[in-house]
């Protein structure tokens, strides 16, 4: 996580809200915010390096790096390829995966399947975001929810039964307009402190219809949980 912490009280100085209002509705007290020298790739690298240390694995043993992110600093090279270089994981293939909030789960499934087929043995899966740079800090419905950070795990092939017992992946593009962040290609890159949402300019911040997103999530997540439990031949009581 970045060192910089932004509290609810600080956000209350930007938009009309309070610590009590935010915490009551979200459970959030504070969020980490990336500094000027911190990027999605540097946060991802730090998380990956720590995960390798915990796993007692050398970068040369890594076969695949997948980074799930919606906030890369480049369209290309991929964030994963930058992490591959920072780590010195010279044998590893690397690519980014964009699936928003579910990105880490998608990346975990891709790496797990690659190991299961025998095409690779060791993988690093990373979720990394610098959401603070794509927020409209005057939009109370979004700026209170997001922060910056990264997490990583190491997957290793094994002959011992276990690992990922079952999985299910679903998507519904019909609701794409409920939570969106446009890809904007400008030369030079626009000043992100400017407001491109108004005055006829193209928006470059997150747009979210929170109530509809919440309603969708509370409908589909329970059904997905039931489906994957059935695949794994488990019950809720066994979890």
| Dihedral sign of CA atoms 70, 76, 78, 83 in order | negative
Q: Are residues 133 and 39 in the same domain?
A: yes
pLDDT computed for residue 193 by the predictor:
52
| Cα distance between residue 8 and residue 28, in whole Å | 8
Which pLDDT tens digit goes with each residue over 209-223? Answer: 989 999 998 999 999
Q: Are residues 221 and 185 in the same domain?
A: yes
> Could you tell me the pLDDT band of residue 4, with boundaries at 50, 70 and 90?
very high
Region 68-76 average pLDDT: 94
| Cα distance between residue 106 and residue 92, in whole Å | 19
- Report if residue 168 sits inside a domain: no
Q: Are residues 126 and 36 in the same domain?
A: yes
Cis ω for the linkage preceding 225 (within 30 of 0): no
Which pLDDT tens digit goes with each residue over 78-89? Answer: 999 999 999 999
Q: Are residues 198 and 150 in the same domain?
A: no
Q: Are residues 134 and 97 in the same domain?
A: yes
Q: Are residues 93 and 147 in the same domain?
A: yes
Distance from the Cα of residue 114 to its chain's centroid: 20
Provide, rounded to the nearest whole percent, the portion of the chain with pLDDT above 90: 76
Region 66-70 average pLDDT: 98
- Report if residue 126 sits inside a domain: yes
What is the rounded end-to-end Cα distance, in angstroms, of the chain?
Answer: 29
Per DSSP, the residues of 113-152 read HHHHTTS-SEEEEEEEEEGGGG--TT-HHHHTT--EEEEE
- Residue where one domain finishes, among candidates 123, 156, 189: 156
Q: Are residues 37 and 109 in the same domain?
A: yes
- Report if residue 70 sits inside a domain: yes
Which pLDDT tens digit goes with each residue over 87-124? Answer: 999 999 999 999 999 999 999 999 999 999 999 999 99
Q: Sort strands 122-130 and 93-97 into parallel, antiparallel or unpaired.
A: unpaired
- Report if residue 164 sits inside a domain: no
Phi then psi dihedrals of residue 120, to 5 deg? -140, 170
Q: Are residues 140 and 225 in the same domain?
A: no
- Report if residue 143 sits inside a domain: yes
pLDDT computed for residue 191 by the predictor:
56
- Residue where one domain finishes, among candidates 125, 156, 187: 156
Q: Are residues 70 and 133 in the same domain?
A: yes
Q: Reply yes or no on whether the pLDDT at 146 is more than 60.
A: yes
Q: Are residues 16 and 125 in the same domain?
A: yes
Domain of residue 228, residue span: 173-238
pLDDT computed for residue 185 by the predictor:
57
Domain containing residue 18: CATH number: 3.40.47.10
- Report if residue 163 sits inside a domain: no
- Report if residue 161 sits inside a domain: no
Residue 128 contacts residue 69 (beta carbons within 8 Å): yes
Q: Sort strands 122-130 and 148-156 into parallel, antiparallel or unpaired.
A: antiparallel
Q: Reply yes or no on whether the pLDDT at 12 is more than 80.
A: yes
- Report if residue 212 sits inside a domain: yes
5, β-bridge pairs = 32
pLDDT computed for residue 203 by the predictor:
57
- Residue where one domain finishes, among candidates 126, 156, 186: 156
Q: Are residues 111 and 147 in the same domain?
A: yes
Q: What is the pTM of this model?
A: 0.88
pLDDT computed for residue 198 by the predictor:
46
> Could you tell me the pLDDT band of residue 205, with boundaries at 50, 70 and 90?
confident
Element containing residue 48 per DSSP (H, E): helix 40-55
pLDDT computed for residue 201 by the predictor:
46
Average pLDDT, the chain: 90
Q: Are residues 149 and 184 in the same domain?
A: no
The count of domains in the chain is 2
DSSP-derived secondary structure letter, 76: S
Q: CA Rg, the chain, in Å?
A: 19
């Amino acid at each position: 996580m970045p060192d910089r912490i932004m509290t609810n009280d600080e956000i209350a100085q930007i938009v009309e809200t309070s610590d009590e209002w935010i915490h009551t509705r979200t459970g959030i007290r504070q969020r980490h915010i990336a500094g000027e020298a911190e990027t999605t790739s540097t946060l991802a690298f730090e998380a990956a390096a720590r995960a390798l240390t915990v796993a007692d694995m050398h970068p040369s043993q890594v076969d695949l790096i997948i980074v799930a992110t919606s906030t890369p600093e480049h369209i290309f090279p991929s964030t994963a390829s930058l992490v591959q270089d920072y780590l010195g994981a010279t044998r590893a293939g690397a690519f980014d995966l964009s699936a928003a909030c579910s990105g880490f789960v998608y990346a975990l499934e891709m790496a797990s399947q690659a190991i299961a087929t025998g095409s690779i043995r060791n993988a690093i899966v990373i979720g990394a975001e610098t959401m603070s740079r794509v927020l409209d800090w005057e939009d109370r419905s979004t700026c209170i929810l997001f922060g910056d950070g990264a997490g990583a795990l190491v997957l290793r092939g094994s002959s011992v039964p276990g690992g990922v017992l079952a999985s299910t992946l679903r998507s519904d593009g019909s609701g794409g307009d409920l939570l969106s962040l446009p890809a904007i290609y400008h030369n030079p890159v626009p000043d992100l402190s400017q407001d491109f949402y108004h005055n006829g300019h193209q928006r470059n911040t997150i747009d979210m219809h929170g109530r509809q997103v919440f309603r969708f999530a509370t409908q589909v997540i329970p059904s997905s949980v039931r489906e994957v439990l059935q695949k794994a031949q488990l019950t809720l009581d066994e979890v």
